[in-house]
């Protein structure tokens, strides 16, 4: 009989940190192509990628009267650029530098008549190197990338189930290539105080993202110096007493450095019911935010 833990792939960050760093930058290149094409939507909802049954996708993007999308395929390890006129380009995903990946994807786009230009400086990471100059990040282990995607599929299912409990304004479940995390956000309906900014996040981006009160949660692999995969949950603005709230399961805790509740991914893998563990975490941390901030919960939640 297959163990519960085997359904959730191991993600020891130290073992795959180099692939993670390279893949993070590749998704930023693709994400910036989406940013260049998609019209502005509130809270930057036009920029994320989305989990699919094979990897990650931009979804359809406009280019004049044409439409195209870019898909990461972590089963066959390909990047597919598909245009609505039937034309297509395919790149193999394998060890190559960020500079090589950037050069090839832009060449393929132009070959399809998609004459795009993007700002080539990575965002939300320390010591960024312009894509065309980055010959340092070049690791791609196919098995490691596939395990991460498998974890994203499972996390996406649970975040979607959690989102379904809410009838107020809520974001899609989407993959932000800046932070390299999967997230979903609930809104109280009230405007928030002007955001003071955040490390590695441009002030206008932060202020548009957090223009209204939120309770946000998600999953991320532990990049950015944290070092381990985890589910997270936070509120902006955080109501008084939020950090001291009692949440479940027992493995969850408030990380003072991040100002977020954290549920370690490994504790989910070891739980008798990973699904119940994650949903309990998402619900109780939301309860703490919404109750202490006096959200109109009867109007916002499904009965």
Residue 294: is its pLDDT beyond 70? yes
Averaged pLDDT for residues 184-202: 90
Do both 163 and 79 map to the same domain?
Answer: no
Do both 198 and 252 map to the same domain?
Answer: yes
- The single-letter DSSP state of residue 6 is G
Residue 231: is its pLDDT beyond 80? yes
Averaged pLDDT for residues 172-191: 98
Q: Is position 293 within any domain?
A: yes
Distance (Å, whole) CA 106 – CA 89: 11
State the pLDDT confidence band at 5, using cuts at 50, 70 and 90: low
Q: Is position 164 within any domain?
A: yes
Do both 159 and 289 map to the same domain?
Answer: yes
Do both 295 and 261 map to the same domain?
Answer: yes
Distance (Å, whole) CA 25 – CA 71: 15
Q: Is position 2 within any domain?
A: no
Do both 295 and 152 map to the same domain?
Answer: yes
pTM: 0.95
Chain segment 111-160, per-residue pLDDT in tens: 999 999 999 999 999 999 999 999 999 999 999 999 999 999 999 999 99
Q: Is position 204 within any domain?
A: yes
Residue 3: is its pLDDT beyond 50? no
Do both 155 and 93 map to the same domain?
Answer: no
- For the chain, the domain total comes to 2
Do both 201 and 244 map to the same domain?
Answer: yes
In sequence order, which ranges of the chain are alpha helices (DSSP H)? 13-37, 98-111, 142-163, 203-209, 265-270, 274-292, 297-300
Cβ-Cβ contacts under 8 Å for 250 (sequence gap 6 or more): none
Distance (Å, whole) CA 265 – CA 152: 12
Burial group, residue 225, by CB count within 10 angstroms (0-12, 13-18, 19+): exposed
Percentage of the chain surpassing pLDDT 70? 98
Q: Which of 83, 110, 133 is where one domain is finished?
A: 133
Averaged pLDDT for residues 236-254: 97
Chain segment 6-35, per-residue pLDDT in tens: 699 999 999 999 999 999 999 999 999 999
State the CB neighbour count (10 A cutoff) for residue 244: 9
Do both 151 and 126 map to the same domain?
Answer: no
| Spatial CA neighbour of 180 closest among 41, 42, 56, 267 | 56
Q: Which of 76, 110, 133 is where one domain is finished?
A: 133
Do both 75 and 211 map to the same domain?
Answer: no
Q: Is position 4 within any domain?
A: no
Residue 171: is its pLDDT beyond 50? yes
Domain around 129 = 11-133
Q: Is position 229 within any domain?
A: yes
In sequence order, which ranges of 199-263 are alpha helices (DSSP H)? 203-209
Average pLDDT, the chain: 96
Do both 186 and 232 map to the same domain?
Answer: yes
Do both 128 and 153 map to the same domain?
Answer: no
Q: Is position 276 within any domain?
A: yes
Do both 285 and 169 map to the same domain?
Answer: yes
Q: Which of 89, 105, 133 is where one domain is finished?
A: 133
Chain segment 62-119, per-residue pLDDT in tens: 999 999 999 999 999 999 999 999 999 999 999 999 999 999 999 999 999 999 999 9
Q: Is position 47 within any domain?
A: yes
């Amino acid at each position: 009989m297959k163990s519960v833990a085997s359904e959730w792939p191991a993600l020891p960050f130290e073992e795959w940190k180099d692939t993670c760093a390279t893949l993070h930058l590749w998704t930023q290149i693709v994400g910036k192509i989406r940013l260049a094409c998609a019209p502005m939507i509130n809270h930057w909802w036009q920029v994320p990628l989305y989990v699919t049954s094979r990897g990650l996708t931009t979804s359809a993007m406009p280019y004049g009267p044409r439409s195209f999308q870019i898909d990461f395929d972590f089963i066959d390890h390909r990047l597919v650029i598909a245009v609505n006129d039937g034309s297509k380009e395919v790149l193999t995903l394998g060890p190559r530098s960020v500079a090589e990946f950037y050069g090839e994807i832009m060449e393929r786009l132009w070959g399809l008549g998609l004459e795009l230009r993007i700002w080539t400086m990575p965002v939300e990471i320390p010591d960024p190197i312009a894509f065309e100059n980055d010959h340092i990040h070049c690791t791609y282990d196919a098995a490691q990338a596939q395990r991460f995607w498998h974890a994203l599929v499972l996390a996406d299912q649970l975040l979607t189930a959690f989102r379904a409990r809410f009838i107020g304004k809520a974001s899609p479940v989407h993959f932000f290539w800046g932070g390299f995390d999967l997230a979903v956000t609930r809104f109280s309906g009230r405007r928030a105080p002007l955001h003071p900014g955040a490390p590695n996040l441009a002030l206008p981006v932060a202020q548009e993202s957090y223009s209204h009160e939120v309770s946000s949660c998600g999953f991320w692999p532990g990049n950015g110096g944290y070092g381990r995969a985890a589910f997270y949950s936070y509120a902006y603005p955080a109501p008084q007493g939020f950090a001291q709230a009692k949440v479940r399961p027992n493995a969850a805790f408030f990380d003072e450095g991040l100002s977020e509740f954290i549920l370690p991914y490994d504790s989910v893998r070891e739980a008798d019911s990973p699904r119940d563990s994650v949903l309990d975490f998402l619900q109780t941390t939301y309860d703490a935010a919404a109750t202490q901030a006096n959200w109109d919960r009867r109007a916002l939640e499904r009965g």
